Chain A
Amino acid sequence: MSKNNLILYAAILIFGLAAPFIFPAFKVQLSILCVLIVLAITWNIQGGEMGYNSFGNILFYGLGMYLCASVQVGMFFPLAEWTESGGEKTFVHTPVQFFQGMAVGLVVAAVVPTIVAGLIGYSILGLRGHYFAICTLGLGVAAGEISGGIEIIGAGQGFTTPPFPNIGSLEARGEFFYFLSFFTLVLTFIAVRSIYSTRFKLILNAIRDNEDKAEAMGIETMKYKIIGWMISAFFCGLAGGIMGGLVGYIDSTDVAFDGREMGVFMVLMAILGGKGTLWGPIIGATVFHIFKEGFWTFFLGWQYVALGVLIVVIVIYFPEGIMGWLREKYPERFGEIVDEKDRKAQVELK
C-alpha cells in the first residue's frame, strides 16, 4: 500500500469516526449512508465485476432484517406473542438482552442469507443476461408477498423491532447505530478490497467479459459465480439486520423486501459511481444519498421527478458512472499511461 493510500484511508477513517460528533443532527442519515454504501459495494461484486445484474439482492437484505429482529426478540420472549397484532402484553428488553440479541441476530442475519444465496445461486446462476435479471427481480417480489403472509413475523401488520434500551443520553441510540453501520462498512470495504486483490476478481472479470471463454480456459465458472453471490449476500444480510433496528419497524414490502426502492437504489448507486470499480459504488452511494435528501427537502412532493431527471442526466452524460467519467477525463491519474500522439492518431483514423 502506498503512502498516499495510507493517508487517504486514515483520513477517511478519522472522518468516519468523528462524523457523528461533527454533525450530531445527521446521525441517522449518516448511518443510512453507510448501509447504502455497503449495499452498493456488495451489488457491485456480482453486478459490476461479474456482469450479473441482479435485482434480487434485496432478498438477502430483507431476509437479514427479519432474521435479526426475530432472533433478537425470540431469544428472550415468545416471538408469536410479540408480533401478535392485538397483543396485549408489553415486553421490554433489558440493555444486556438487547445487545446480546442484536449480536446473535446479526450473525444469523449474515449467515442464513449466505446459505440461501448458495442454494438458489446453484439453480439460477445458470441463467444469463436479461433472464437472470428478470428472475432475480421475481425473487424479491415473491419474498415480499410470502413474508407478508407469515403470521409469526407480523404478516401484514408489520414487525416492531425491540426499542433501544434506556441507557446513556438520548444520543446513545443514534451513536450505537452509526458506529455499528460504520464498522460494517469498514469491514465490508476491507473484505472486498482484499478479495479484489486476488485472482478471484480476475476470474469474476473473466466471467463478465466472456463466460464461455473463461470456461474453456478451465475456470469452474459456476463455482465462482456462486461464491461471488454468497459474498454479496453475507454483507447484504448484515446491512439489512442493521437497517431493521435503525428503522424500528419492518413491513414486508415497504421496508424489508423493498425492491422498488432499495432494490433499485443499490443498482443505481453502483452505476452512478461507476460499476466494476472499488470506489465507484462508494462515491455513487454518497452522491445519490445527498441528492436524494436534498430533493426531499427542497422539492417537496416532486422529489421523485427530480430524482428521475438526475437519473436521465446520469445515463446521458455519465454512462460509465462518475469514476468512468473521471477515468476518461484524467486517465493519467488512474495510473494509465497515455501516449498523446498515439491517441490522436487513433482518433484521426476514425
Chain B
Amino acid sequence: MRLTKIILSFISAVAILFSMSATSFAKVVGNKIVLGAAVSLTGKYSSNGVHTQNGYNMAVDRINSMGGIKVGGKTYKFEIIYYDDESNPKRAAQLAERLISQDGVQFMLGPYSSGLTKAMAPVTEKYGVPMVEANGASRSLFTKGYKYLFAVLAPANLYLDVAIKTAVELNGGKGVKVAMAFEQDAFSQDVRLGILDAIKETGSTKVIDDKLPKELNDMAATLVKVKQMKPDVLVVSGHTKGALTAIRQIAEMKVDVPMLAMTHCDAAKLSKQHGKNSQYALCASQWHKTLTYKDNFFKDGMTYDADFNKMFGYAPPYQAAESSAALLVFKDAFERANSFDQKKVRDALAATDMQTFYGNIKFAPGGQNVSKPMVLFQVMCDAAGKCENKVVAPLKWASAKLIHPVPKWSER
C-alpha cells in the first residue's frame, strides 16, 4: 500500500521541521540580558497590550542608553523577546512554556491583565523563573503562595473602594445606594469584591449587581435599570472597552448619577475620545503624572509623560508607566544580586525597597506592591472643551477638588 509511504514521509518531514526550529538562545548572551514577555498585540486587550509593550520598550531604551546594568563588574543591556498572547489565557500559558523551554529565557516580564498573569504564573513558578509583572492586579494572584511572582501594582480590590468611602463621607457618613456593572474577567471581578467589602464596611446597599460580557459593546440594559433605581454611585469596570462603552451610552441615554466611578479611563483615552461627555467620571489609577515620585532614569512623572509622548505620540496611561517601572525593578534587583542566578535574583527582588517615578515599590510576601496607594482622578473640562484628568484623592496628591454630585445632563 503506497499510502503508508506517503504517511511515513510526512512524519519524517514533520520530524525534520521540528528539529530545525529547535534553536535555543540563552538568557544572558554576550552583554545582553534577555527577558521574555507575552503581551496582547491582538484580541480584546490589544490596546492595553500595546501600552504595556511601549512601557517596556521605553524603559529598555532608557536603561540601555544610560549605561545598562552592571553585574559582576560587567555592563549588560536589556533585550526583550516578545510574543503575542492574543489576549487568550491558553495561549499565554503556552507562550510562557515556550519562552522558558525553547527560547531559554530565565527572567520574565508580565503580560497584560490578571487573567493572563494567572495563566502564566503557574508555569514561571514551576521553572523558578522570576517574573516581574505590572498588569495583573487580581488579589487571587497573591494568595497562591507564588514565590517568583512580583507585581509592581496595588491589588485590584483597592481600586475603587475609596470612591465608595468618599461617597459615604459626602453623604454625611450614611450608607449610599451602589449600582455595579462588572465585566466577567478576573480583574473586574476582583474590583467588584473590593466594592462589596467597602459596601459592607460603610453600611451601604447594592441596588444593581450586573455582570457584563467580555466583548463589551453594550450595557444599555444596566443603564436602563440605573435610570429606574437612581443609585448614588455607579461603578463600572471592564478594561478599556468597558470604560468607552459606559461613557458613550451614559451620554447617549442621558443617565444621571451623582457619582460615576470607573477603571481604565486613561488607557481608553476617555477625555480625548469622548471629550465633554466623559466629564466628571471618577477613575481609579495606579499612577498619575502629577505625583511627585522621583528616580534617576525618568526623573519624575511629568518628564516621563513628556518623553513618552515624544516617543509614541500619546500621553502614557498608567499601564505604560507601571510597565516601565517593572524594568527599573529588574535592573535594581540584578545589580543588588550581582548575579544571574535565578534564586539570587528572586531573593533580591523580594528585598526590593525603592522609589521610582511611578511610586514606591516594596513587595509583600505574596508578591504584591504594598507601599504604593491608588489615586483617584476626575475628568475635568474647561469651557473650551479641553479635558484633563485631575487627581482628587488621596488629599496628599490632590490637584483639584472633587466635583460632587455630578451635574444633571439637563443642566450641562
List the A side residues contacting B24 at CB < 8 Å.
25
Interface string of B182-223 (1 = CB under 8 A from A): 111110111001000000000000000001011000000000
What's the least CB distance linking A259 to chain B, in Å? Answer: 13
List the B side residues contacting A239 at CB < 8 Å.
none
Contact A254 B14, beta carbon cutoff 8 Å:
no
Tell me how many residue pairs across A and B have CB atoms closer than 8 Å. Answer: 162
Q: A86-B140, A87-B143 are in contact. Are A249 and B4 (CB under 8 A)?
A: no
Q: Which of A1-45 contact B (CB under 8 A)?
A: 2, 4-5, 7-8, 11-12, 15, 22-29, 32
Q: A247-B119, A252-B184 are in contact. Are A15 and B97 (CB under 8 A)?
A: no
Please choose the segment from A69-77, A100-108, A149-157 that sits at the chain B interface, where 4 or more of its residues have CB less than 8 A away.
Answer: A149-157
What's the least CB distance linking B108 to chain A, in Å? Answer: 15
Contact B186 A156, beta carbon cutoff 8 Å:
yes
Contact A254 B90, beta carbon cutoff 8 Å:
yes
Q: Give the nearest-CB partner of A87 in chain B.
A: B143
List the A side residues contacting B299 at CB < 8 Å.
none
Q: Give the nearest-CB partner of A145 in chain B.
A: B213
Contact A249 B122, beta carbon cutoff 8 Å:
yes
List the A side residues contacting B140 at CB < 8 Å.
85-87, 157, 160
Interface string of A277-303 (1 = CB under 8 A from B): 001000100100010001011001101
Contact B157 A335, beta carbon cutoff 8 Å:
no
Q: A252-B184, A254-B89 are in contact. Are A157 and B190 (CB under 8 A)?
A: yes
List the A side residues contacting B93 at CB < 8 Å.
247-249
A21 CA to B343 CA in the complex, in Å?
Answer: 27
Q: Give the nearest-CB partner of B212 in chain A.
A: A156
Count of residues in B whose CB is under 8 Å from the partner chain: 59
Q: Which of B19-45 contact A (CB under 8 A)?
A: 19, 21-22, 24, 41-42
Contact A90 B144, beta carbon cutoff 8 Å:
yes
Contact A158 B186, beta carbon cutoff 8 Å:
yes
Q: Give the nearest-CB partner of A294 in chain B.
A: B21
Q: Give the nearest-CB partner of B117 in chain A.
A: A249
Contact A290 B4, beta carbon cutoff 8 Å:
no
Q: For A90, A163, A243, which residue has the most chain B Cβ atoms within 10 angstroms?
A: A163
Q: Which range holds the interface residue count of chain A?
A: 35 or more
A295 CA to B105 CA in the complex, in Å?
Answer: 21
List the A side residues contacting B312 at CB < 8 Å.
none
Please choose the segment from A129-137, A190-198, A326-334 that sits at the chain B interface, where 4 or more of its residues have CB less than 8 A away.
Answer: A326-334
Interface string of A76-89 (1 = CB under 8 A from B): 00000000011111
List the A side residues contacting B90 at CB < 8 Å.
243, 247, 251, 254-255, 258, 261
A215 CA to B93 CA in the complex, in Å?
Answer: 48
A296 CA to B189 CA in the complex, in Å?
Answer: 31
B125 CB within 8 Å of chain A: yes
Q: A25-B101, A296-B83 are in contact. Are A85 and B42 (CB under 8 A)?
A: no
Binding site for B on A (CB under 8 A): 2, 4-5, 7-8, 11-12, 15, 22-29, 32, 85-90, 92, 145, 148-149, 155-158, 160, 163-164, 170, 173-174, 243, 247-249, 251-255, 258, 261, 279, 283, 286, 290, 294, 296-297, 300-301, 303-304, 326, 330, 332-335
Cβ contacts A to B, 20 pairs, < 8 Å = A15-B11, A25-B24, A26-B22, A28-B94, A29-B98, A85-B193, A87-B140, A90-B143, A148-B184, A156-B188, A158-B89, A158-B115, A174-B101, A243-B90, A248-B123, A254-B87, A279-B7, A283-B10, A294-B21, A296-B84
Sample of 5 further A-B pairs with CB below 8 A, known A4-B4, A254-B214: A12-B11, A249-B118, A251-B89, A296-B83, A326-B6
Binding site for A on B (CB under 8 A): 1-4, 6-8, 10-11, 14-15, 17-19, 21-22, 24, 41-42, 82-84, 87-90, 93-94, 97-98, 101-102, 115, 118-119, 122-123, 125-127, 138-140, 143-145, 157, 182-186, 188-190, 193, 211, 213-214
